[in-house]
Amino acid sequence: MKGQSPFRDTIFALSSGGLPSGVAVIRLSGPHARDAAVRIAGGVPPPRRAVLRSLRDGDGLALDRGLVLWFPGPASFTGEDCVELHIHGGRAVVAAMLRALGAMPGLRQAEAGEFTRRAFVNGRIDLTGAEGLADLIAAETETQRRLALDNAEGGQQALYAAWRRRLLHARAMIEAELDFADEADVPGSVSERVWADMRALCREIDEHLGGYRAAEIVRDGFRAVLVGAPNAGKSSLLNALARRDVAIVTEVAGTTRDLVEVALDLDGVKVLVTDTAGLRETDDRVERIGVERAVAAAGRADLVLELVDSSTPRQEGIRRTWQASALRVATKSDLPGSRVDGFDHAISVVTGEGLGRLVRDIATRAQSAAATQGSIVPTRLRHVELLRTTKDHVLDALIPHDLELRAEQLRLACDALGRITGAVDVEELLGVIFSEFCIGK
């Protein structure tokens, strides 16, 4: 897209991840991308066709033999001329190729997220699409992948653009009434036709905002916190769930002093399980800090697993009422004399008894918490804040007073909504958003 993109330099980077690998992809974007391909590969292939070429540096020395793809702008990811070099993924091969590119005039190494930022600036994607791509790259579970893909493919952008068109239409109707109020052939109040739609828009925004908590759980994980008296079996359960030794387990009470967390993929939902210090009164300063952190973690949890050693009738501990949903779990059910009546679950990490049922229960609760009314939900706190601002301005516009003031409230609502997708100036946000990306994306 020569002559149209505001960028005058050409960027390049390894875009395919860690080395060594079977194949490495080096991406170039900018006005000198085609010239670089000619110098390295002897020419460019037909657009969007992979061609095998010998690749050489500026002195004609052989670098590798690989595939070259040419994407002339604006029909490319960034909207600029782009080239991809698919080469062998050895560290020396990639380093030599990057050195050869860096030696060419007008080329430089890309910064984190710079390809996606150029795609945004050149109108190929909006901000929600860029954020969706960041989430797609970071996705660890199937639920995260689906949510990120919906947003990366423009689901949020389409919804917010439709809402913004309704706001613009409402402003136009009000301003028409202001401009032609003295005309004899203007029947009644034109603006009255839009207020019902604006009230409906507020209800739609409210319903949409209701999906944020579920989206937050999908992105960041469902938090399950293990609490209980010292030696209740919390660390043993954590190790059993993680299927590896992540926490120290001994017969000495108070071994765990800090929070220990593992991430699990339970039926496509990310679940963060946190082991905590045993809850008891103590004069040990370090252990007391651990108890305070345990209580704080449980206060932030989506689910609290309250573990009790079923083989010990009386246990030292601190009983709490938790804000989150809680499950009482009897541990060490394999030991003689264990009493498991009145518990939600009875488990033994030695025999495996009850572990499957407990995991299924956690997974079901996580899936329920991550369930959304639809695939299009706000996925960032900034979305929530701007949507609430939009709704507040619309509600102010619905209050009967001077039409000029009501039109101004709708203008402010349009601006707030436009800032979500980047339709309104958001320069101060760009560095934050695109810094989330890896180099090469």
What CA–CA distance (Å, rounded) separates 401 from 413?
A: 17
What is the tens place of the pLDDT at every residue in 266-325? 999 999 999 998 888 888 888 888 888 989 999 999 999 999 999 886 655 556 777 789
Which candidate, 376, 260, 55, 64, places its Cα nearest to that of 249? 260
- Answer yes or no: do 358 and 411 share one domain: no
| Tokens matching residue 22 | 């079977």
- Answer yes or no: do 380 and 342 share one domain: no
Q: Is residue 252 in some structural domain?
A: yes
Give the number of other Cβ atoms within 10 Å of residue 209's Cβ: 16
- Answer yes or no: do 103 and 29 share one domain: yes
- Answer yes or no: do 198 and 233 share one domain: no
Domain range for 15 is: 10-126
| Residue whose token pair is 């460019």 | 44
| Residue whose token pair is 């600029």 | 80
Collect all residues with Cβ–Cβ distance below 8 Å to 184 and sequence separation of at least 6. Answer: none
What is the tens place of the pLDDT at every residue in 231-268? 889 989 999 998 887 765 555 555 556 788 999 999 99
| Residue at which a domain ends, from 126, 153, 169 | 126
Q: Give the total number of structural domains in the chain.
A: 3
Q: Residue 432 in contact with residue 422, Cβ under 8 Å?
A: no
- Answer yes or no: do 328 and 355 share one domain: yes
What CA–CA distance (Å, rounded) separates 278 from 340?
A: 20
| Residue at which a domain ends, from 346, 370, 394 | 370
What CA–CA distance (Å, rounded) separates 213 from 193?
A: 34
- Answer yes or no: do 198 and 77 share one domain: no
What is the tens place of the pLDDT at every residue in 37-93? 999 999 999 999 999 999 999 899 999 999 999 999 999 999 999 999 999 999 999
- Answer yes or no: do 260 and 184 share one domain: no
- What's this model's pTM, rounded to 2 decimal places? 0.79
Q: Is residue 426 in some structural domain?
A: no
What CA–CA distance (Å, rounded) separates 172 from 190?
A: 10
- Answer yes or no: do 94 and 156 share one domain: no
User: Angle at CA 246, nearest 5°, toward 244 and 248?
Assistant: 115
CATH code at position 320: 3.40.50.300
- Answer yes or no: do 66 and 100 share one domain: yes
Give the Å distances, CA to CA, from 399 to 392, 394, 402, 403: 11, 9, 9, 10
Which candidate, 52, 53, 54, 63, places its Cα nearest to that of 100? 63
Residue 139 amino acid letter: A
CATH code at position 103: 3.30.1360.120
| Tokens matching residue 64 | 């590798």
Q: Is residue 5 in some structural domain?
A: no
CATH code at position 202: 1.20.120.430
- Answer yes or no: do 178 and 269 share one domain: no
- Answer yes or no: do 302 and 228 share one domain: yes
- Answer yes or no: do 288 and 326 share one domain: yes
Q: Is residue 85 in some structural domain?
A: yes
Collect all residues with Cβ–Cβ distance below 8 Å to 24 and sequence separation of at least 6. Answer: 14, 16, 86, 87, 88, 89, 93, 94
Which candidate, 15, 22, 19, places its Cα nearest to that of 137? 15
Q: Is residue 196 in some structural domain?
A: yes
